[in-house]
Amino acid sequence: MVTLKSENLFNEAKKYIPGGVNSPVRAFKSVGGTPLFISRGNGSKMIDVDGNEFIDYIGSWGPHLFGHNPPFIREAILSALENGTSFGAPTELEVKIAKLICELVPSVEMVRMVNSGTEATMSAIRVARGYTGKDKIVKFEGCYHGHADFFLIKAGSGALTFGVPTSPGVTKGNAADTLIAEYNNIESVKKIIHENKTTNGNQIAAIIVEPVAGNMGTILPVENFLKELRELCNEEKIVLIFDEVMTGFRLSKGGAQELYNVKPDLTTFGKIIGGGLPVGAYGGKREIMEMVSPSGPVYQAGTLSGNPIAMSAGYAALSYIKDHPEIYDTLDKNSAYLEEGLKDGLKNIGKNFQINRIGSMMTLFFTEKPVVDYNTAIKSDTQLFGKYFHEMLKRGIYLPPAQFEAMFVSIAHTKEDLDKTIKASYESLKSLNY
């Protein structure tokens, strides 16, 4: 595989961009080698600047439910462009997409558009604090909610991959206001609440959680974990926030909360609601959302929030989901087929590496023990994963370049794509030295 153009671009990029990339995991540091610079994508495929073609399982980290560059989203963007890119004033489309989100996600009664998942989560926390009059939040070890200061305490995703779970630049005050619980361990949450009440009175404004963790690899909630969280928040008058930036509209039209039948007070979105463009949103109970300016005193603003280009792409994506709910059955069926094929390959080489999957997101963990939380995830052999990643790349399969990430299947992936991936995985696994 020739990668000369990518190598030259990376060397040039490092002169002007920190680490040569605009988001850390892209740098391939955890898997080694040079990142590939992508020139275009279509359907299930990506092509790099050297002309190498790959079956893609990143899908821009989740939003490409329909594959790359689907015609109906492209047409919506082009149509919007004819009228202008941004006005800094309300448009009808903002109202239409807000109504659609509220229709598809029953827990959401009002919604505010922003420009990224990070904006959504940091805003949701601010609103929860304003609503409750309390300062502290609880997050879970290994869960990632964007790069706002108060989230970078034992965070997942890039922070976990690069071994910087508490980032320099995060103040002691922020760290002190963020309490850390163990994912899938309700007793750890109860202990934190008890200790907080004993020392400070109840100062916990919110508990934020990925209902299905995707940023320490795919980790499903154990039975009743989310329901018990809901009950605990009700008892203690704590705002429950589901971070569905990754799972929202990816796992079902109503997100993970629909699958697990648990309604949070607030939900954060990103990824798919922009149809692949930079978009985020947060929404939930009317009485909480009416705290947001200009209805209430909690300030949050954004010049490009709700811009017509992103709203057109997002409205097209969500409308397709509404009109074609059967896509989730197709995604689950195809993802199950891929999972079973990968498991067969592991069985044939005598390994019991763990595969966690829900719907169209999954992770192959290079550990033979079940992965249910941060501590079990980090037991994975990251060096072995790095070797596997490059073996797959050589065979035309583009996986997330980090052990602690989810891979995503789209409706553009064909049976031929899946069979090629299964064959490549078996060959790659067989080539490794254990």
- Kindly list the catalytic residues: 144, 243, 271
- Omega into 400 within 30° of 0, i.e. cis? no
Phi, psi of 202 (to 5 degrees): -80, 100
CA atoms of 207 and 264, how far apart (whole Å): 10
Distance of CA 219 to the CA centre of its chain: 12
CB 289 within 8 A of CB 127: yes
Look up tokens 């209430």; give the residue: 296
Strands 266-269 and 239-243, how do they pair? parallel
In contact, 134 and 126? CB cutoff 8 Å: no
Q: Pairing state of beta strands 239-243 and 38-42?
A: unpaired
DSSP β-ladder status, 136-140 and 204-209? parallel
**Residue spans of alpha helices (H) in 278-432:** 286-289, 308-323, 327-348, 374-377, 382-394, 415-431
Is residue 136 within 8 A of residue 125, CB to CB? The reply is: no
Please state, in angstroms and rounded to a whole number, the distance separating the CA atoms of residues 135 and 206. Answer: 9
Query: Which phi and psi (to 5°) does residue 364 adopt?
Result: -95, 110
Give, in order, the Cα–Cα distances in Å from 161 to each of 62, 226, 400. 18, 26, 12
Which residue from 118, 131, 140, 27 is spatially nearest to 386, judged by alpha carbons? 27
Beta strands in 244-313 (DSSP E): 266-269, 280-284
Using alpha carbons only, give the angle 234, 175, 282 rounded to the nearest 5 degrees: 50
Q: What angle do CA 226, 253, 419 make, to 5 degrees?
A: 95
If one counts every other C-beta atom within 10 angstroms of the C-beta of residue 235, the result is: 9
Q: Residue 356 is inside which H or E element, if any?
A: strand 354-358
Residue 215 DSSP symbol: S
Collapse the DSSP code of 354 into the 3-class scheme (helix H, G, I; strand E, B; otherwise coil) and give the result. strand
